[in-house]
Copies of this chain bind each other. A is one copy, B any other.
Amino acid sequence: MVGAHRFESLALSYNLTSMTNLSIAIHGGAGTILKKSMTPEKEAAYNVALQAALDSGYVALKRGATAIDAVEKSVSALEDSHLFNAGKGSVFTADGTHEMDASIMDGSNLNAGAVSLISGVKNPVQLSRLVMEKSDHVFLAGDGALKFAEQMKCEFKDSAYFYDEFRYNQWQEVKGTDQFQLDHSISKEHKFGTVGAVALDQFGNIAAATSTGGMTNKKFGRVGDSPMVGAGNYANNETCAVSCTGSGEFFIRAVVAYDVSCLMEYKGMSLKDACSKVVQDRLVKIGGDGGLIAVDAQGNICLEYNTEGMYRGQRNNQGINEVAIYK
């Protein structure tokens, strides 16, 4: 009986090992990203930043971190880069300030946290996690959210930290006008500046996180899809974890992230088919452009977009490890 017991233990151990797929995907925004408007240096810088953000979450997963920890790490890394429209690289509002949004969701228990219209916080995604874990609420915004951040002793940075010459010049182009997005120009890429991550950990749990610096020259305290559970971010172990980037208003109206989940849960679609249906069909029908990244509890990854390009990366423990920008 001792031998039989030992055999069972070995089998269990083997199953656990084979079950422990690890997957992570990230994005740094989607839009009109054309190779001809890139320099080799700029492209290399983007690839390095994407790989570093991807690795920070993946290495954490390999060391036993939860999916929530991994997506927080990867998104924090993207927020700390001046290249992406989130955290340090946030664009300027019409008032010359920075208003950032972020959210996070844990697929194992459907817990979620979100913040909107916050200024000065170094890592909005970390604040959204504190909202999830340390407040009675899901979604805090504006001055109230900043008061909460102070109580939580979040790291704040002054305006010099968020200043970037490129972003400032972007703002100067449209300052004083009603323009908040530059259609039909190469600057359109910045319209969709959002970062995000989705991950599967060794415990079989999935999670999603999203962060954005909003739109250049945006006014009126506009809230996009990024901090909205179900629209720009969603995670549920039963289906998928999703982080979106695109023309936020359309993503809100189409409840994009939860739509992917519902197509899987209610129609029995695969992750790939559900993502394709939402991004290439349902979203297009109402005029929305952008993309999303998604992972399911089996470790499948999907990077879907209907734009020219999407800053993106994916890595798993089955040999995939890549970053990309164009189609």
Contact = CB atoms under 8 A, between A and B. Distances in A.
Interface of A: 110-112, 114, 116-117, 135-145, 147-148, 180, 219-224, 228-231, 234, 248-249, 252-255, 258-259, 262-263, 266-267, 286
B258 A229 contact: no
Secondary structure dominating the interface of A: mixed
Within the oligomer, what is the number of copies of this chain? 2
Nearest to A231: B230
B252 A220 contact: no
A285 to B, nearest CB: 10
A194 to B, nearest CB: 15
Contacts of A249: 136-138
Contact of A262 (B137, B266, B286): B266
Which has the most chain B C-beta neighbours within 10 Å: A110, A147, A263?
A: A110
B230 A258 contact: yes
A94 to B, nearest CB: 9
B141 A141 contact: yes
A116 B223 contact: yes
Nearest to A145: B221
A142 B95 CA distance: 15
Contacts of A223: 114, 116, 137, 139-141
Contact of A219 (B112, B144, B180): B144
A213 to B, nearest CB: 15
The 4 closest A-B pairs by CB, nearest first: A144-B221, A266-B266, A230-B255, A262-B262
Given A230-B231, A267-B266, A221 B258 contact: no
Contact of A253 (B110, B221, B255, B263): B110
A235 to B, nearest CB: 10
Contacts of A142: 117, 141-143, 221
B139 A222 contact: yes
B252 A143 contact: no
Contacts of A136: 180, 249
Given A142-B142, A266-B262, A111 B253 contact: yes
B254 A110 contact: yes
18 contacts: A110-B254, A116-B223, A117-B144, A137-B222, A137-B249, A139-B228, A139-B252, A142-B142, A142-B143, A144-B220, A148-B219, A148-B220, A228-B230, A228-B231, A229-B255, A258-B259, A258-B262, A266-B266
A138 B288 CA distance: 13
B117 A141 contact: yes
A6 to B, nearest CB: 39
Given A110-B286, A140-B223, 17 more contacts: A110-B253, A114-B223, A117-B141, A137-B220, A139-B222, A141-B221, A141-B223, A142-B221, A145-B220, A148-B220, A228-B230, A228-B231, A229-B255, A230-B252, A230-B255, A258-B258, A258-B262
Contacts of A141: 116-117, 141-142, 221, 223
Nearest to A181: B136
